[in-house]
DNA sequence: TACAACATACCAACTGGTCGGTATGTTGTA
DNA sequence: TACAACATACCGACCAGTTGGTATGTTGTA
């Protein structure tokens, strides 16, 4: 996808510095509210460098979505939860991992793809497509484990791995919005708790869930 | 909250026309990408009128969130699903209703509060607070039915009406983002199907869910 | 009930500043 | 010496917000 080959700290540095700056600033301020000058300042480059590497601000926004995809796919691919034998354990481990990394400032754990998709879906086809690809691609990787879990444990009619993978991202994206309202990661933890409970119930693995009886 | 008393079509019209324009344009383009001039053009008023009614663009954004709260709370309060005797049926009827109104252009069924919260949470305290209030307030009304359902049917430990109400909004907000990527309401329908399944499983009302056995 | 004093609701024109983008350098390296 | 990788200087368009004004109420008082 990305054919650029550069030595870190040398030539080509400006491009990746601008992409990093975009991910950081857009997650905090949104795309429109982030100016080209601001991106250049944070990246430590000039406007000339910006328009040397990107034909427009939109083009940077789309490239940053691909950059985000690449960065985060490495993060999740290398995480420990992938080592579990059981596909369901891998999925549950993914949820644990997402909880772990949801700490600190809100802008640091929210999603570039979701943020820019929300804001730019109608103004820039390139950004919308790249951001949506990021989310569906991530869902597809989850779907592999979930399909295996369905084959192994069964599931209600109509439930597919991809559908559950997309729903997982849906809940996480929504949780990021609530987190922005509240100012902390609590909504992410809450959403993951519900997701976990849903999955355990779906696969009849709910023996661990303490039940409360109806009131008399 | 709002002490303005005006006759429709006469004086004071400008204010509500601007609020309507804000809801429409911000849902389509986002807050930053919508200019004051554009809002005035759509509302059919001048910039003077704008700054007569609102101290700043941010102030309009916050007022539009309150306007959104008022508008949508009427919509849901008057809907038929509220007539169900059973609290769980009321909640399930709410989900059906949300599916019904998720049609047409994406910008027409997405949420002003979620959109502006995502974009403005760090740049405007007033917008963030008003938008977050809109979502939590809506959740709180759902929570009433859900608390009654929990009292009636029981639920796993740790599951509260408010937690489920917030989670419902979480899933819907996330679904709106996916819908923006895809260009239609399918992700909303998918998310609601999962929500419905989760609730039926939670309350042991899953007899209607067709089960698929594990592969041999 | 008449009228002065004031408030509200709006308008057209304008301002200083910022925006994305461009035109034209300079410089290091192969 | 040719070209990629930058830097500098600048442009016109657009931005949120201001100004000085008018038209149409509303209200207190004699």
Helix (H, G, I), strand (E, B) or coil at B1: coil
- Provide, in whole angstroms, the distance separating residue B6's CA from nucleotide C7's C1': 15
The beta-carbon neighbor of A154 closest among B122, B191, B211 is: B211
The beta-carbon neighbor of A201 closest among B153, B176, B201 is: B201
Nearest alpha-carbon partner for B156 in A200, A164, A167, A92: A200
Residue keyed to tokens 């509240």:
A182
- Report residue A155: phi and psi, to 5°: -165, 160
- Provide, in whole angstroms, the distance separating residue B48's CA from nucleotide C15's C1': 15
Structure letter (DSSP) for residue A183: T
Per-residue pLDDT for A1 more than 60? no
The beta-carbon neighbor of B117 closest among A117, A131, A181 is: A181
Bridging pattern class, strands A155-156 and B211-212:
antiparallel
Cβ neighbours for A87, distance < 8 A, ≥ 6 positions apart: A145, A146, A148, A149, A152
- Provide, in whole angstroms, the distance separating residue A115's CA from nucleotide D9's C1': 34
* Structure confidence at residue B109 (pLDDT): 98
A8 — pLDDT class (breaks 50, 70, 90) = very low
Structural domains in chain A, sorted by start: 65-205 (1.10.357.10)
CB of B73 less than 8 A from some CB of A? no
A204 — pLDDT class (breaks 50, 70, 90) = confident
* Structure confidence at residue A4 (pLDDT): 26
Residues 171-210 of A with CB under 8 A from B: 171-178, 180-182, 187, 190-191, 193-194, 197-198, 201-202, 206, 209-210
- Provide, in whole angstroms, the distance separating residue A52's CA from nucleotide C30's C1': 20
Helix (H, G, I), strand (E, B) or coil at B51: helix
Per-residue pLDDT for A210 more than 70? no
Q: Do the Cβ atoms of B196 and A213 come closer than 8 Å?
A: no
Structure letter (DSSP) for residue A206: G
Nearest alpha-carbon partner for B67 in B2, B125, B143, B11: B2
Structure letter (DSSP) for residue B210: P
Of how many residues is chain B composed?
216
**E strands of chain A, at which residues?**
155-156, 211-212
For range A38-49, the mean pLDDT: 92
CB contact under 8 A, B178 and A169: yes
* Structure confidence at residue A206 (pLDDT): 72
Cβ neighbours for B112, distance < 8 A, ≥ 6 positions apart: B22, B23, B26, B27, B64, B65, B68, B131, B134
Strand C protein footprint, C-beta under 7 A: A 11, 34-38, 47-48, 51, 55-58; B 4, 6, 11-15, 45-49, 52-53
The beta-carbon neighbor of B175 closest among A106, A156, A170 is: A170
Mutate which: A123, A178, A197, A207, vs B, most B CBs within 10 A: A178
* Structure confidence at residue B34 (pLDDT): 95
The beta-carbon neighbor of A177 closest among B107, B117, B155 is: B117
* Structure confidence at residue A192 (pLDDT): 98
* Structure confidence at residue B205 (pLDDT): 85
Mutate which: A174, A190, A196, A205, vs B, most B CBs within 10 A: A174
Please name the residue whose C-alpha is nearest to the C1' of nucleotide C19. A35
Q: In chain B, which residues have their Cβ closer than 8 Å to the Cβ of A140?
A: none
For strand D, give the nucleotides within 7 A of a protein CB. 4-10, 14-21, 24-25
* Structure confidence at residue A205 (pLDDT): 85
Closest Cα in chain B, distance from residue A76 (Å): 21
**Blockwise average pLDDT, block size 10, chain B, 216 residues:** 31 80 96 93 91 93 96 97 97 98 97 97 96 98 98 92 98 98 98 97 77 58
d(CA B180, CA A123): 11
Q: In chain A, which residues have their Cβ closer than 8 Å to the Cβ of B189?
A: none
CB contact burial B51-69 (16+ within 10 A = b; e otherwise) = eebbeebbebbbbbbbbbb
Cβ neighbours for B146, distance < 8 A, ≥ 6 positions apart: B87, B91, B160, B161, B162, B164, B165
For range A14-24, the mean pLDDT: 94
A126 — pLDDT class (breaks 50, 70, 90) = very high
* Structure confidence at residue B6 (pLDDT): 32
Q: Do the Cβ atoms of A191 and A172 come closer than 8 Å?
A: yes
Q: Which nucleotide is nearest to A50 (CA to C1')?
A: D6
Q: H or E stretch including B9?
A: none
For range A104-128, the mean pLDDT: 97
pLDDT in tens, A53-64: 999 999 999 999
* Structure confidence at residue A2 (pLDDT): 29
CB contact under 8 A, A122 and B107: yes
For range A194-198, the mean pLDDT: 97
Residues of chain A with pLDDT > 70, as a percent, come to 90
* Structure confidence at residue B10 (pLDDT): 36
């Amino acid at each position: 996808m990305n054919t650029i080959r550069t030595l870190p700290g040398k030539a080509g540095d400006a491009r990746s510095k601008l992409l990093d700056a975009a991910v950081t600033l857009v997650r905090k301020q949104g795309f429109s509210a982030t100016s080209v000058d601001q991106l250049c300042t944070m990246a430590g480059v000039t406007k000339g460098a910006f328009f040397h590497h990107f034909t427009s601000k939109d083009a940077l926004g789309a490239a940053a979505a691909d950059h985000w995809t690449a960065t985060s796919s490495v993060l999740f691919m290398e995480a420990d939860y992938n080592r579990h034998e059981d596909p369901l354990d891998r999925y549950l481990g993914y949820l644990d991992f997402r909880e772990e990394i949801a700490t600190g400032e809100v802008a640091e754990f929210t999603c570039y793809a979701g943020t820019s998709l929300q804001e730019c879906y109608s103004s820039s086809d390139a950004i919308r497509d790249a951001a949506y690809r990021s989310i569906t691609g991530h869902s597809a990787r989850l779907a592999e484990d979930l399909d295996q879990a369905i084959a192994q444990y069964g599931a209600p009619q109509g439930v597919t791995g991809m559908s559950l993978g997309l729903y997982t991202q849906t809940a996480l994206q929504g949780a990021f919005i609530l987190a922005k309202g509240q100012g902390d990661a609590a909504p992410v933890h809450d959403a993951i708790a519900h997701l976990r409970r849903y999955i355990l119930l779906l696969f009849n693995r709910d023996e661990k869930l303490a039940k409360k009886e109806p009131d008399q």
